[in-house]
Amino acid sequence: DAMVIQNPRYQVTQFGKPVTLSCSQTLNHNVMYWYQQKSSQAPKLLFHYYDKDFNNEADTPDNFQSRRPNTSFCFLDIRSPGLGDAAMYLCATSNMRGLAGGLLADTQYFGPGTRLTVL
Amino acid sequence: GESVGLHLPTLSVQEGDNSIINCAYSNSASDYFIWYKQESGKGPQFIIDIRSNMDKRQGQRVTVLLNKTVKHLSLQIAATQPGDSAVYFCAENSGGSNYKLTFGKGTLLTVNP
């Protein structure tokens, strides 16, 4: 089945130790997103890729970086995790469809998330 | 706008009853809306969507209603089941953005057997 896969599902890291979270998709969607979600809160968009074009949210800390080596994979790198970065990290994909008059927003499909713990 | 609260609105219903979850969206220019269901420890799961050229859309046991005049969105779940217990988020495409979604605060639905 076509899907969004995140690895690992649970990640424990130490304060200040770099960590990389992985997302892959079999949907062949052209847009991939990374969200941070803290307990009892809505997902917060960190950045997204439209094909190879990277789009950072204005309030995303420099500590968070991303790579998209190909259509299927996208990585979230946290260079120096702090205690406040402990959260669920969600990857999502969507397919921007070109129609007469422009692009059409479409559904975002989420992966199961990676729960990050910072010790 | 973005959710910032630590306390989710809650809705408790009896199994078999109909549930209505409401959402006030923020931007009158938004033209695409989605409802997601999120179970504990899992990613948000797509339920149903609606574009602004419609005011009602039905799926299996779910109906979404859109009132653009008052910027209000609702999700109706028929014959609610224990498996429907989850947090429900509405999302809007951020003022007509092709890429971004703005999520509502979320509502915790608890279904009592």
Q: Determine if the peptide bond prior to A8 is cis (ω within 30°).
A: yes
Our CA-based measurement puts residue B107 at a distance from the nearest CA of chain A, in whole angstroms, of: 10
Cα separation, B22 vs B17, in Å, equals 16
The contact set of B with A (CB < 8 A) is 2-8, 31-32, 34, 36, 41-46, 49, 89, 91, 93, 97-101, 103-106
Per-residue pLDDT of chain B (113 residues; tens, 9 = 90+): 333 344 679 999 999 999 999 999 888 888 899 999 999 999 999 999 999 999 999 999 999 999 999 999 999 999 999 999 999 999 998 766 777 889 998 999 999 98
Return d(Cα B81, Cα A26) in angstroms, integer.
31
- Identify which of A116, A117, A66, A64 has the alpha carbon closest to the alpha carbon of residue A92: A66
Mean pLDDT of chain A: 92
CB-based contact A105 B46, cutoff 8 Å? no
B16: closest CA of chain A, how far (Å)? 26
Chain A residues in contact with B36 by the CB 8 A cut-off are 110
A52-74: per-residue pLDDT in tens? 999 999 999 999 999 999 999 99
Q: What is the mean pLDDT of residues A64-86?
A: 97
How far is it, in rounded angstroms, from Cα A59 to Cα A110?
22
Which of B2, B97, B103 lies at the smallest CB-CB distance from A105? B97
The rounded distance, in Å, linking the Cα atoms of B47 and B61 is: 10
Average pLDDT of the residues in A18-45: 95
Q: Give CA angle at A42 (B25, B40), nearest 5°.
A: 130
pLDDT at A51 over 50: yes
Residues 6+ apart with CB under 8 A from B72: B22, B23, B24, B25, B66
What pLDDT shows up at residue A95? Answer: 87
What's residue B48's pLDDT? 96
Higher pLDDT, A101 or A36: A36
Give the pLDDT confidence score for residue B1 in this predicted structure.
36
Do residues A70 and A85 make contact, with C-beta atoms less than 8 angstroms apart?
Answer: no
Chain A positions touching B44 (Cβ under 8 A) are 43, 90, 110
| Percent residues over pLDDT 90 in chain A | 87
Instruction: Report the alpha-carbon distance of residue A78 to residue B13 in Å, rounded.
Output: 41
Nearest chain A CA: its distance from B87 CA (Å): 9
Q: Which two tokens mark A87? A: 């959260």
Checking if the pLDDT of A102 tops 80, the result is no
Chain A partners within 8 Å of B91 (Cβ) = 108
Q: How far is A80 from chain B (nearest CA, A)?
A: 24
Partners of residue A64 on adjacent β-strands: A78
Are A42 and B103 a contacting pair at CB < 8 A? yes
Q: How far is CA A51 from the centre of its chain?
A: 14
What is the phi-psi region of residue B78: left when phi exceeds 0, alpha when psi lies from -120 to 50, beta otherwise?
beta
pLDDT at residue B17, as a whole number: 96
* A101 pLDDT higher than 60: no
Relative to beta strand A4-7, strand A109-110 is unpaired
